[in-house]
Structure formats: C-alpha cells, structure tokens
Amino acid sequence: MSLDALFEPLTIGSLEIPNRVIMAPLTRARADERHVPTPLQGEYYAQRADAGLIISEATAVDPLGMGWYRAPGIWSDEMTTAWKAVTDHVHAVGGRIYCQLWHMGRLVLPDYIGGQRPIAPSPIAGEGETMAPPPDDYQGGFLPMKPYVVPREMTEGDIGQLVAAYGQGARNAMRAGFDGVEVHGANGYIIDQFLQSKSNHRQDRYGGSVENRVRLLQEIIDAVTAEVDPARVGLRVSPTSERKGMGDSNPAALTEAIGRLAQQSGLAYIHLIEPIASGFMEKPDYPVIDRLRSVFSGTIIQNGSFDGPAAGEAIAKGQADAISFGRPYIANPDLVTRLRRSLPLAEANFDYAYVGEERGYTDYPAFSASGCCV
C-alpha cells in the first residue's frame, strides 16, 4: 500500500528521520514585539515533534529583512538564547527542528524599518498588500493592510552585508541548538527576487542570465555552509510561483540551475513548493520536479496541497523522497498519527493563523475517538 511509503525512515544528508512527514514552515507570529521567540513557540513545536522533521517558521537574519509583526528573528544573542529554549523543548520530546533563514527584501513595509525603503535587486514593487504594524490603540485581532512599496536597488555593498547576515544567522541557529538550517529561497522573498526574471532587472553580474541570477544564492549558500555542514543545510524554492508579482521567463531552466548549484554545494535537500492542487499557490501548468531530479541527487521534499494517500503515492513512485504539510499542521498537532491511521483531520481557524496567543495555536487537541476535533 503506497501510504506506507510515508512512514518509512529516511536519511536526509546526515540526519536520520523516522518518517517522511515534514512539518512545513509556518509563520504564526507568536514571538514578542521585538521579534524574540517565546516559550509558547516551544510548546507549539513540541506538540508537533513526531513529524519526521520540523522546519521552523521563517526567521529573519537581519532587521532590514523583517516586515512581519511578531515573527521571530535570529540576528541577536537574545534571540539566539530564546530559540535555544524552543529547540530544547523539541529535543526533550524526541523531535528534530531546522531553522528557516529569511529576509523579506522588497516585501518589507517602510513602517517596520524606521521609514526606510526596503532593499531588493531592482526598484520594482511586489504586487498586493501585507499586514502593517499595529496602530497605537491595538487591542489584538486583524492588522491593517498596506500595499507594497517600490524598493531601493541594492548596491554590491548591500549584497555583501546580506550574505554576511545569512552566515551570521546560520551560525546563531546552530548555537541555538537547531539540527540544521533551511535557506528560504521561495515565496517571493529576497533570494527569490534575485532568482526570478520578473523581479530582477539588474544589468550587473547579479542579473540577466540564469547564471547571474543564481549568483546571490550561491554566495549565501557558501556563507551558510561555512558555518553549517552542508549535510545539514536545505534550500526551499518555488520557481513556478507567481504570487506577489513573481514570475520567470523559463522556470525549468531556473530550476535546473538551482539544482546544479545545490548539487555542487553538497546540500542535503531541496524543498520544492510544487502543489498538486491550487490553494496556497497555483498548481503550475508545467511542473519542474522531474527537472530537479535530473540534476540533484540529494533528498527532494515536495510541498503543496497533499493529503496522506497522495503523499504516499508521490514517494512510492519516486517523484519525491518526503512530503511537507503546511496548513494541515495548524489544527492537527498529531498529524503523523492521523495520517498513519487514516483518521479525520481537524479544520484550522485561520482567524488565528497569524495573530493571537494560545487560542488557535497551542489549543488544538490530539485526536480522540470519544469525539472531538473536526
């Protein structure tokens, strides 16, 4: 039965995991207002520790790359120490957790960075709007929305600082007790802004050809792998995503360039967002996962709109090695058990996805046959 494939152990780089159910990174905004992680996050991740591997929520490596109220950072000693309490909590119950290293680039509103313009490869705004910081009389609940702004084109000096921030973030993550790191190259954030042709109009060695557009990623991977064994480094990408004004003239060629780079750098895994049904992101007309497979021999984690049987089938037929689950993890802390036993899944209340405290975060119960949960 193909569902069984999901529960076979796997070695990702140098990490052994007991099953192939990966918890996808989920921004949940439960750090404090200074972006320092809280004990509540430790409780939340520990509840989900029977995942083969937890990828943490996106965690900013630099204040200029942080544009999300109460999302966590990892640029300071205080943040690093606070993360250590979270990873200790996960390890105490037998789990494994990687830190997703993040910089939002053009998707940071000036409101978060003292009125400055955000940085990006080119002065092209993201499409749409995002949550602004709370007003002075904020009582909780939904945050006001504001459109993205035209960013400032990065100089080579800015690029050097960005690369160094990723290196420092990776070093801090290991000091914080994470088992490894995942470089966030997906979802229209700064690395993706360099990778995809629609957001990168640079005329220098960081823009134009695919080889030039992957250069920033290579420099970041070099900085990260100088701090962390590449066998404990993964990369998340979404080369077919068109969300937030993204787009590429040739996603298949871009995917191959990313895969070759990861192969040469000895990365443990690539985490590809390539949904099998539209939802968080549109299902692509031309999937690229086979192109990735042709150039990358490490682990491939696929993400996007999977349920248990579809995940088992994708692994059984060799399309992916593991599958990550995002939205199902919000309301199902015991997702591994539910998938294994084909139990019903609870529905998440998205009113609390990005705001709040315990409610809609740590108060979803494990399945009980005596009636709960759906």
Ligand X SMILES: Cc1cc2nc3c(=O)[nH]c(=O)nc-3n(C[C@H](O)[C@H](O)[C@H](O)COP(=O)(O)O)c2cc1C
Sites of contact with ligand X (CB under 6 A) = 24-27, 57-58, 100, 184, 186-187, 236, 273, 279-280, 303-306, 325-328, 353
Determine whether 138 is an active site residue: no
Least distance (Å) between residue 29 CB and ligand X: 9
Candidates 237, 103, 100; CA nearest to 180 is 100
Q: Is the CB of 80 or the CB of 303 nearer to ligand X?
A: 303
121/234 with CB nearer ligand X: 234
The residue number whose beta carbon is nearest to ligand X equals 326
Q: Alpha-carbon Rg of the chain, whole angstroms?
A: 19
CA separation for the pair 302, 321 (Å, rounded): 8
* 79 closest CA partner among 126, 41, 53: 41
Is 269 or 325 the residue whose CB approaches ligand X more closely? Answer: 325
The whole-angstrom separation of Cα 209 and Cα 211 is 5
Closest Cα to residue 21, out of 66, 1, 51?
51
CB of 310 to ligand X, least distance (A): 11
- Residue 17 belongs to what H/E stretch? strand 15-17
CB atoms within 10 A of CB 368: 10
Cβ at position 276, least distance to ligand X in Å: 9
Out of 45, 112, 166, 189, which one is annotated catalytic? 189
Q: Which two tokens stand for residue 275?
A: 């949904």
Identify which of residues 21 and 120 has a Cβ nearer to ligand X in the complex: 21
User: Smallest distance from the beta carbon of 203 to ligand X, in angstroms?
Assistant: 30
Secondary structure percentages of the chain, helix, strand, coil, to 5? 35, 15, 50
* Residue positions annotated with a catalytic role: 189
